[in-house]
Structure 1
């Protein structure tokens, strides 16, 4: 993901808004993966399965905070927030207050990603009329 953002920063003035879905504990599920289990919808296998919605929100906040710190440390101008568990709704809410040139969807590999299986990137592009870049993470 950093490479994609770096390309945009090098091309000219850029800023980014990171939206992390605030998924309830009931909507997490664990899928088998090589070498262990991957809790969904997290972007890393070390979060575990939350016991409550409050814990799920705390995990989402940790992911957001980590991403904001990492991107800021890399010199990227970035803001962010937690959004709806429904990514289309979350994006719609952010677009109500801001304008963007592009939407970047970062997701898990296809075998784990509910977003890719639901064709979210194409849904986003059709609904919001903005170019969409999909970044498939390694974990």
Structure 2
């Protein structure tokens, strides 16, 4: 039987060094992979919204799943406990793991290493653990693909937004991260945000444009700040309604986001009359 390999990562998901380690283990033969991430508590926002936290973790997992899929490797992905030690132990028990690949930042930046996570897991599980170091900043300099954060809500189904993203993808290699802030913390707001997100992801998928996404905190500023916390972002595109109708613009969202990131922040203004015009399609998987 194939050995079950657990891949544990958080902010380093999708890193080239991690993907290379999974590829090497795959090529060695007899391995099935389970990829997990903890549900990290976001730094921004006064209230923790479970759906947004879970979506954020799933997006991180998807970065690795998408990267290894390009090399013909399939895997199971699962969102686990917020504590990485508990998350790993839970996954080891649930999936009957035989070995672990654990990815961290370099030692000077890794909270996991400061808390001796590897040694504690070795003692608790008795399993072989391969430690992979991912230097996110160094890898970014070598990767020409631009990672663009798209922040949208009512404009997500708008033809103008889709055409803008398609143009960007045609001009240079892009990978889009779409965040749709839910307008409230209740069920119908969540479902509405997911439907809008899914429409845009489906359209991008049909064009073969790499994209993933999830819903975010109802406060768009917190949603952006949390995305910046966990993902590589080379530029930010914020799509809003026209000036007189946009709560985001009235709260100076553009200016506030510019203060928390060195990445360029671009504003696209879209008339709501076409914002919900695109028919909903299903197919691409929202995080």
The residue that corresponds to 1:110 in the other structure is: 243
8 Å CA contact retained: 2:182, 2:216:
yes
Structure 2: gaps of 5 or more residues: 1-160, 273-287
1:22 correspondence with 2:196: no
Residue 37 of structure 2 is matched in structure 1 by none
Q: Measure, in 1, the Cα distance between the counterparts of 2:183 and 2:246.
A: 14
Which runs of 5 or more residues in structure 1 are unaligned?
26-52
Cross-structure match for 1:36 = none
TM-score (norm 1): 0.74
Q: 2 CA distance for matches of 1:93 and 1:118?
A: 18
How far, CA to CA, are the matches of 1:74 and 1:122 in structure 2? 32
CA distance in 2, matches of 1:19, 1:67: 11
CA deviation profile, 1:44-65 (whole Å, cap 9, x unmatched): xxxxxxxxx2111111111111
Q: Give secondary structure in 1 for the equivalent of 2:208.
A: coil
RMSD of aligned alpha carbons: 1.5
1-structure distance, mates of 2:265, 2:205: 22
Distance in 2 (CA, whole Å) between partners of 1:91 and 1:61 is 17
Q: Which runs of 4+ in 1 moved over 2 A?
A: none
Name the CA distance, whole Å, in 1 between partners of 2:208 and 2:249: 29
Task: Please say if 1:2 is aligned against 2:156.
Answer: no
Bigger Rg, structure 1 or 2? 2
Aligned partner of 1:131 among 264, 267, 281: 264
TM-score, L = length of structure 2: 0.37
In 1, the alpha carbon distance for the partners of 2:205 and 2:271 equals: 21
Alignment of 1:63-102 (within 5 A): 63-102=196-235
User: Offset of 1:135 from its aligned partner?
Assistant: 1.0
Describe the SS at the equivalent of 2:191.
Answer: helix
User: What is the number of equivalent residue pairs in this alignment?
Assistant: 112
